Amino acid sequence: MLVENTRLVQIGRAVTPYTQQKGTPIQPWRGESVEAHIEIYPEFRDGLNDLERFDRIWVLSLLHESTGFEMRVIPYRDTLLRGLFATRSPRRPNPIGMSLVTVDSVDIEKGIIRVQGIDLLNNTPIIDIKPYVPQFESIPDSASGWLENGNDTRVADDRFDKTD
């Protein structure tokens, strides 16, 4: 069933050094030393006001090079099949990415958010930016399922890099 009245617009794009999935950090904190920025398009730049006082932001994106999906996948950090929705695999029915990144600077006029640590390919469409609020979102003693004994992988391999 289609969700009716879906209204999604691309508000910007990621500018990163990554051109292929293989070798891209599997999560933002794995790519902290890499220079990257989010470019916000002119009509949305006014919304960047007051963002610079947040240390971190959620970047919601459309993982546009993701193709197809399966309901069981072997995640980057594991060797066993897991339910898709128990993973952060980029191959999903709706390939939406959520990346928690550190804000270095915000230039409202130019629409540039300089960030540290990003796990997105160059030109990934950005669909939203939200502040990270530790009072709401940091719950460190939560169970993290299979990740508690998963392998410590830093970058993506070609596991999900499919063109089917």
Ligand X SMILES: C[S@@+](CC[C@H](N)C(=O)[O-])C[C@H]1O[C@@H](n2cnc3c(N)ncnc32)[C@H](O)[C@@H]1O
* Binding interface with ligand X (CB under 6 A): 21, 24-27, 63-66, 76, 88, 90, 97-99, 119-121, 124, 156
> 36: how many CB neighbours lie within 10 A of its CB?
22
Residue with tokens 């398009």: 41
Q: How far is the CB of 90 from ligand X (least distance, A)?
A: 4
Q: How far is the CB of 13 from ligand X (least distance, A)?
A: 10
Q: Which is nearer to ligand X, 40 or 120 (CB)?
A: 120
- Residue 64, exposed/middle/buried by CB under 10 A (0-12, 13-18, 19+)? middle
What does the longest C-alpha to C-alpha distance in the chain come to? 47
**How far apart, in whole angstroms, are the C-alpha atoms of residue 145 and residue 128?**
28
Both tokens assigned to 51 = 């963002």
Q: Which is nearer to ligand X, 84 or 108 (CB)?
A: 84
Q: How far is the CB of 126 from ligand X (least distance, A)?
A: 10
Q: Which is nearer to ligand X, 21 or 111 (CB)?
A: 21
Q: Is 24 helix (H, G, I), strand (E, B) or coil?
A: coil
Q: How far is the CB of 26 from ligand X (least distance, A)?
A: 5
**How far apart, in whole angstroms, are the C-alpha atoms of residue 112 and residue 48?**
9
Q: How far is the CB of 97 from ligand X (least distance, A)?
A: 4
Q: Which is nearer to ligand X, 21 or 115 (CB)?
A: 21
**How far apart, in whole angstroms, are the C-alpha atoms of residue 55 and residue 40?**
18
Q: Which is nearer to ligand X, 45 or 92 (CB)?
A: 92
Q: Which amino acid is at 158?
A: D
